[in-house]
Structure 1
Amino acid sequence: MAKPVLYQFPVSHYCEKVRWALDIKKVDYEARNLLPLFHMPVIFRRTRQNKVPVLKLDGRYIADSATIIQTLEERFPSAPALFPKDESEREEALEWAAFADREIGPHMRRTAYYYLLDHPRLMFEILTEGQNTVGRMAFRTSQRVVIRAMKEGMGITERGYRRSRDRLVAALDRLDQALADRTYLVGERFSVADLTTAALLSPLVLPPEAPFQFPGEIPPELQQFMDEFAERPSVDWVRRMYREHRGRPATA
């Protein structure tokens, strides 16, 4: 089998979902780091859409993080399994994963970037992670255009931020309640439910086990936002999921 290739933004928590699944499955893969905006022709040529992550596996280009993880489970079913064998538990795990994709992923992203986009030097380092000198120079000339496109594309406004913050708080409330008497979201072992939820909440926690590490000092206003949630049971659970189930294997 040719080595799989993951087309990604290193900072993306949706890409982190896929990296974690690949590492859980012990799949040796190549990470292809892309630049926002510049990524569009690269991805569109392969998938007819513009979003990452995209995984090239067995000669096919697979888009959408949930679809990629399902494909990895089918391709590597027992190394170890991420989907419970019990049908009802499997359905519950997929429901939790879909909940996290819908109620955590986009709202975590919008709230984080709301605090970050007005820090151009920091954003440059975040968005050019893993790039060579040529890539960094190309991005520097277009950074203002990229930031404007990100604000428009993700709806990063005061109103959008407040709406996403409310959705994120509601999701954490539900998680706190669900985790009050259990170690994992479904059953007695780590599953796609835990991986998806923890990965999509990782920007709120910045766990040291995550492959992407925040470059430099966290802006005070973002740190204050993170501190508001630091004592939540669900946030402590994310730390534990990373500590117990996430390694940082090197990729090419």
Structure 2
Amino acid sequence: MTINTPLTLFTINMSHYSEKIRWLLDYEGIEYNEVALTPAVHTLPMLIKGKRAETTVPLVQRATTCVQDSPRIVNWLNNEYGPLKTLPAQHEQEIVAIQQRFDEIGKPVARYLYLPGFAHDALIKDIWTQFAKPWEEVFVRAFYPVIKPAFKVKLKINKKDVARAEQKIDAEIRWLEERIQHGQYLVGDQLTVADITAASLLAPLACPEEHPIYGTAEFREKMAGPAQQWADSPALKWVREIYAKHRGVIWAKPPVAA
């Protein structure tokens, strides 16, 4: 097996964990083909490929090797394609610790956004079916009244859990504000996995212009509206600055449907 074997990245378009790995691959210059999965329809393929009893994305595949879950993917990429310039060995332990810190707010961020977002069913259905095959779009739109409540239960989208998510997000935003007082980057003097993780996981709240979903006016208004309480915070300004400086074009090569 060589690294010349094509790498495939399985994503969901709105997933900030998917954006994390997509950004990492783009920044590291690792060639890949992106396959966009449709929510609800994605569960069985990810169960089968991941072999971890998980339905999550992202997942990378090279030949018969499949790696699921973003921190595991980062570790695998570093072993197979590294050393990654975004994971310098002298700072690896600190970078991994910050990666874990912000990975843990991924679900709270999604929970926080979907509570208001699910008041706008047309927007959710449009986002979910952006890269869907015709039959997948028909399925999602037809069964959306069933998928929506099931999704809300699975992600714990209710007022009590969303309130807890808000507290968790606020705490990490305050931590980030303190951290960036000491420099532009979270570790050392260059962009690392720590920065990519923090910026990606907070991007749905910061709504950077570079992101083709998070950066739209409709997303900012209908899903990220409650996040206005942090919009002018140094932390979310930092996210937008990191995107502007280091992200580049997203989907220069559009993903294909699964």
- TM normalised by structure 2 equals 0.90
Partner deviation per Cα, 1:87-123 (whole Å, 9 max, x = no partner): xx22111111000011x21111110111101211111
Work out which of the residue numbers 43, 46, 49 in structure 2 matches 1:43: 46
| Residue of structure 2 equivalent to 1:207 | 208
Number of positions where the alignment pairs a residue of Structure 1 with one of Structure 2: 248
- Pairs within 5 Å for 1:125-140: 125-140=126-141
Q: Distance in 2 between matches of 1:182 and 1:51?
A: 33
1:251 Cα deviation (Å)?
Answer: 4.5
Q: Distance in 2 between matches of 1:97 and 1:140?
A: 35
1:58 Cα deviation (Å)?
Answer: 4.3
Amino acid at match of 2:120: H
Amino acid at match of 1:60: T
| Residue of structure 2 equivalent to 1:57 | 62
Work out which of the residue numbers 13, 17, 21 in structure 2 matches 1:14: 17
Q: Does 1:71 align with 2:73?
A: no
- Call closer, same or farther: CA 1:168–1:197 in 2, change over 3 Å: same
- Call closer, same or farther: CA 1:242–1:138 in 2, change over 3 Å: same
Q: What is the aligned-residue RMSD (CA, Å)?
A: 1.8
Q: Distance in 2 between matches of 1:115 and 1:41?
A: 28
- Residue 6 of structure 1 aligns to a residue whose secondary structure is strand
Does the aligned pair in 2 maintain the 1:116–1:219 contact within 8 Å?
Answer: no
| Residue of structure 1 equivalent to 2:97 | 95
- Residue 14 of structure 2 aligns to a residue whose secondary structure is coil
Q: Distance in 2 between matches of 1:198 and 1:175?
A: 10
Amino acid at match of 1:63: Q
- Residue 217 of structure 1 aligns to a residue whose secondary structure is helix
Q: Distance in 1 between matches of 2:158 and 2:238?
A: 30
Partner deviation per Cα, 1:1-56 (whole Å, 9 max, x = no partner): 33211111110001111101111122222221112221121111212232111110
Q: Distance in 2 between matches of 1:4 and 1:24?
A: 15
- TM normalised by structure 1 equals 0.92
Identify unmatched segments of 5+ residues in structure 2: none
1:181 Cα deviation (Å)?
Answer: 2.3
1:134 Cα deviation (Å)?
Answer: 2.5
Q: Does 1:197 align with 2:206?
A: no
1:211 Cα deviation (Å)?
Answer: 4.7
Does the aligned pair in 2 maintain the 1:73–1:81 contact within 8 Å?
Answer: no
Q: Does 1:27 align with 2:30?
A: yes
Q: Does 1:84 align with 2:88?
A: yes
1:186 Cα deviation (Å)?
Answer: 0.6
- Residue 66 of structure 2 aligns to a residue whose secondary structure is strand
1:238 Cα deviation (Å)?
Answer: 0.4
Q: Distance in 2 between matches of 1:214 and 1:238?
A: 12
